[in-house]
Structure 1
Amino acid sequence: MQYKEWRHEPEEARFPLRHRLTTLFEIDVEDGNIRKVINNHMARAWRTHRSQLHNYFKGIGGPVDPTKAKTTPPPNMGSKDDWGYLCDMWCEPKYMETMEKRVMACGKRKMNSRNGSKSTIRYHIERGLDLDSSTGQIETWRLTHWDEKKGWRSTDAAAKYVSLLDHFLFVLI
């Protein structure tokens, strides 16, 4: 837990986790594609776990009383050193300033999307589409703001989609 992101975790720390998978499942962890999928799942699990730890930290009053928070690690915390590192990191002024900016930016959003922390452009490229394709970008935007079961995220999102289509059709004519 003492690394900013999963991708910074050293290979020595990742190896035992991958090895554990071979005892539970019959998979070839040496295959590059399989390793990539495993790594993506582990990165997501790592972020989720760290987020849960941060919520626990905030729940016990960590930002107000960091000393108390350091002495009260969660039951699922592996190492007290990791917990101390995380508590120190979450109390740093630079970290708190960054989090405050993120919260303010999130609050200013007019339309929520389904692509999480990825930009729409990144999502578009990962779908294997060309950036020069206007229709492809409009479709990517639709996919990130519309759900088959729930429909549009908001009426603003639906209106924006219609305006994008109208603009595209106007340019074609």
Structure 2
Amino acid sequence: MLKRFKVEDHMTWVLDQIHRSYHNYRHYLKKIWYETCETTEEARKKIPPNVAEDDWQYLINMWSSPEWELISKKNVENRSKNNIIHTSGSKSFSQIREEERKKTGNDPGRTFLWELTHVRPDGLAANPASQEALSKLKKLYTQMSVENSEMTEDEIFVKVFGPERSSRVRGYGNGVTPKELWGPSSSSSSTVSELRRQLEESKQRQEESERRSAAEVQGLKEQLGRVEGLLSVQMNRFEGLLVQLTSHMHSPAQIERCTENPPSRNGRPRMTRPRR
């Protein structure tokens, strides 16, 4: 390889590619020649072609160890959390980017490349989570273009997917790191973008809380107005009843005269003669 290719300036990428190829081939051996066997002893006798027996026994010992089974279980759990599914098949993102560059003469942006690698021919993403992420990317990209926002595509990706890891950049495939793509300051730039995203989300939560509080206050005011209206109606009704009751009542003098001169049998008031 060193005689046929000039790799001095790309040794890190070459070693990384060799490492990935080795892991992919080992995964193939495990899936086809190890997991199809019912017992470990059966797998030891089933040596794949072009694999030395010592190497195969080493792999069997590694795969059957409790430590490896624990690591495999954890990796399965981590992969299950990644619900974003690409639709590029075995073709790498780098190949798709290069094909698009040759076709249009321009380097495709991250949003457009993400759409190329995650959307099916019918225009939809592979699953709801990917479709939701695509909708967010398109919405933010449109806002950036229409409003002349200072937000970059890289910041859009951070806002939708979170900060980039130090070992890879979304949409660029294997082997590309933030440091190689944006320089040594990429980690600080990603941190600033993440802090900006958190600040914006905090503002949105505060605005939503203020809107809910205003709605609650308005509801309490309306409820208080209804209660005051009911009280006013009840007070007016009570005052009316009080006036009616007062108009039917006799004065104390009338009550006293009626008591002194009770009515006769025929209903006429009795006449009292003065005493001599």
TM-score where L is the length of structure 2: 0.36
User: Does the 8 A contact of 1:77 with 1:83 survive in 2?
Assistant: no
Q: Is the 8 A contact 1:111 1:156 kept in 2?
A: yes
Structure 1 residues 40 and 150: alpha-carbon distance in aligned structure 2, compared to 1, 3 A threshold: farther
Residue 118 of structure 2, aligned match among 127, 134, 145: 145
| Shift in Å, 1:66 | 2.8
1:52 paired residue among 19, 24, 28: 28
CA positional deviation for 1:162: 2.1
Post-superposition Cα deviations, 1:26-56, rounded to whole Å, max 9, x if no partner, equal xx952326x98x9898767644432232011
What's the counterpart of residue 140 of structure 2?
A: 167
Shift of 1:85: 0.5
Per-residue CA deviations over 1:131-159 (Å, capped at 9, x if unaligned) read xxxx9332232233124588532244233
Identify if the C-alpha distance between structure 1 residues 54 and 170 changes in structure 2 by more than 3 Å, giving closer, same or farther.
same
Asked if residue 100 in structure 1 is aligned to residue 76 in structure 2, the reply is: no
Query: Aligned partners of 2:75 and 2:120: how far apart in 1?
Result: 25
2:47–2:53 Cα contact (<8 Å) kept: no
Q: CA deviation at 1:109?
A: 3.0
- Structure 2 distance, partners of 1:46, 1:158, is 33
CA spacing shift, 1:97–1:144, aligned 2, 3 Å? farther
Shift of 1:92: 2.4
More RCO (CA 8 Å, sep 6+)? 1
Task: Mark the CA change 1:60 to 1:77 in structure 2 (over 3 Å): closer, same or farther.
Answer: farther
Which protein is bigger by CA-based radius of gyration? 2
Q: Where do 1:16-95 residues align within 5 Å?
A: 29-32=3-6, 46-55=22-31, 56-61=33-38, 65-70=39-44, 72-95=45-68
After superposing on structure 2, the runs of 4+ consecutive aligned residues of structure 1 that deviate more than 6 Å are: 38-44
What are structure 2's unaligned runs of at least 5 residues? 99-107, 148-276
Q: What is the RMSD computed on CA atoms of the aligned residues?
A: 4.0
Q: Distance in 2 between matches of 1:95 and 1:66?
A: 14
- CA drift of 1:169 comes to 2.8
Give the superposition deviation at 1:97. Answer: 1.6
TM value normalised by structure 1: 0.53
Identity of aligned residues (%): 19
Question: Structure 1 residues 106 and 159, CA, compared in 2 at 3 Å: closer, same or farther?
Answer: same
Equivalent residue letter for 1:52: Y
Distance 2:62 2:131 in 1: 40
Residues 111/76 of structure 1: CA separation in 2 closer, same or farther (3 Å cut): same
Q: Is the 8 A contact 2:119 2:126 kept in 1?
A: yes
